[in-house]
Each structure stands twice: as C-alpha cells, then as structure tokens.
Amino acid sequence: MRRKQLNESVAYLKEKGFDNPEIGIVLGTGLGKLADEIENPIEAHYNHIPFFPLATVEFHAGKLIFGSFEGKKVVVMQGRFHLYEGYDFTDITYPIWVMHQLGIQKLFISNAAGAINLDYKKGDIMLIEDHINLQGGSPLAFKNVAEFGHRFADMSEPYDIEMRKKIEKIAKNENISLQKGVYASVVGPQLETKAEYRMLKILGADAVGMSTVPEVIVANHLDLPIVAISVLTDECNPDQLKPVDIQDIINVASATEPKMVKLFRELIRSL
C-alpha cells in the first residue's frame, strides 16, 4: 500500500464530486439494486479510478457511486473484488482504504452466503456477529501497514454492537425475520464439499462465503465501525447436498435483496 497511490485515487474521486461521504456501502453478489436508489448519483467506473484494481470481465459493471441516501451522503461500491478473481488481499481491500480516506465514518457490508446452520433457510437474512477467516492470509500483512493504522488490529468485537442492536430493532419493527451468527470466509471460487460443510459446522460457522472478512479486518485496523449482513442463498446440508447452481444463488440474492435494502435504509435513517 502506497500513500501516494491512495492520494491519487482520492484526488480523482474528489475532483469528480465525491464530497465527504459519511457512510460507505459494499454491495455483494446479486445485491446491486440499492444503488438505483441513490439520489443525485455521481459514478466512477473502477477502471477509470487511478490505481484501482482493474475489473475482470465478469465485473465490468463495477463502479463507485456517490450520492444521497435517506438524506445522508454515501459512497456505494456496486460490485466488489474477490480473491478468486486472482487479486491479492491489498487489491480486494483497496476500495476500503479509499473510502476511509474520502472520509466515511461507518461501513455497511452485504454478501451472499450459504447457510451452514440448518435452522437457517434460503432467503433468510443473517446479521453477522463474528467471523472466521479461512482465506489463509491478511490484508494487513505488508511492510508499512503501521503508517495507516493498527498493525495488530484488535478483533475482539469486529462488528459494531450499537448498529447491530439497531438492525435487530428495525427487523422487529418491519417484521423481517433476522438470523444472527458467525460468517466463515473461504477463497473459493469452487463451492464446498460435503466434508468441508461438516468441518465448517464443527468450527462454529453459521454461514460461508467468499468475501467480507478482508474488508472487515481493514475497517477494524482503521477504527471504522461496521455492520454486515449476509443474504443466505443456499442451504449447505452435507447429508442432502445437491449441486449448487450459481445462477440460483444470484436469483435468491436478488429476490431477498429488498429486505436488506430496507434494513440499511432504516439504519441510515436512525443514525
């Protein structure tokens, strides 16, 4: 990570009008529609932002959007970077460093995930309370990390308690059934074997996915409060495992997305 590159990325976005956003929002796979609700949007395609990772073919639509949501200035990532695309930990978290530098004070994250806890069903929303990093590395493992924040980032409470309480209250008021639990991150892109799903359950995971944890580690390093929500797209029952269809995962994410948008919208209103 180089300060100079970060400064150039930020200068480009400020020049475009990304003016002091308060909240950063990361939209996961199949969860891009919240971006349509941003008022007076200014868009910056990832491929045009200096030093941003180059978007791969599948994610050519990737962009940062600045605008107003429920009266607050936000910056939204429509599409994120994953290790399985061949990026490294610094690449996939680069947008978090940039949004922090732009001035965000809170970070909202969403993702699509498989349900390991079999009480949880496809189409449920899960508030992430804690996580297990199974990606085999850290976005903070670079030489000059201490220039930016804590090298030995504290992870005793990685997800902000106050915002979690608010989400729970909102879900209750809005009649949205809300699961809570532990998210395990894997590299992917292959889905898990039956034996791996059994292992994840033994480890204490309630959901599994291929993102989020690196972003959360960086946010903790930067003292940025986080709230994160998983949209559960498939049930990972090792005793009755059917082939997983990625299109089905995307379809379930899209169908469940309105609940996530509602939770984020009401959370922003409450801040």
The residue (of 67 and 209) whose beta carbon lies closer to ligand HPA is 209
What pairing do the DSSP bridges indicate for beta strands 72-78 and 63-69?
antiparallel
Distance CA 234, CA 238 (A): 12
Residue 163 touches ligand HPA, criterion: CB under 6 A: no
Smallest gap, in angstroms, from Cβ of residue 157 to ligand HPA?
A: 25
The residue (of 139 and 209) whose beta carbon lies closer to ligand HPA is 209
Binding mask 179-198 vs ligand HPA (x if CB under 6 A, - otherwise)? ------------xx------
Using CB under 6 A as the binding rule, the residues of this chain from 211 to 250 that contact ligand HPA are 233-234, 236, 249
3-state secondary structure 242-268: CCCCHHHHHHHHHHHHHHHHHHHHHHH
**Closest C-alpha to 182, from 213, 211, 204:** 204
Phi-psi category of 20—alpha, beta or left, where left has phi over 0 and alpha has psi -120 to 50? left
Which of 113, 128, 140, 229 lies at the binding interface for ligand HPA (CB under 6 A)? 113
- Segment interacting with ligand HPA (CB under 6 A) among 42-50, 70-78, 203-211, 216-224: 203-211
**Closest C-alpha to 42, from 70, 9, 69, 65:** 65
For residue 189, cis peptide bond before it (omega within 30 degrees of 0): yes
The residue (of 49 and 249) whose beta carbon lies closer to ligand HPA is 249
The residue (of 3 and 194) whose beta carbon lies closer to ligand HPA is 194
Phi, psi of 265 (to 5 degrees): -60, -50
The residue (of 64 and 228) whose beta carbon lies closer to ligand HPA is 228
Which residue has its beta carbon closest to ligand HPA?
Answer: 114
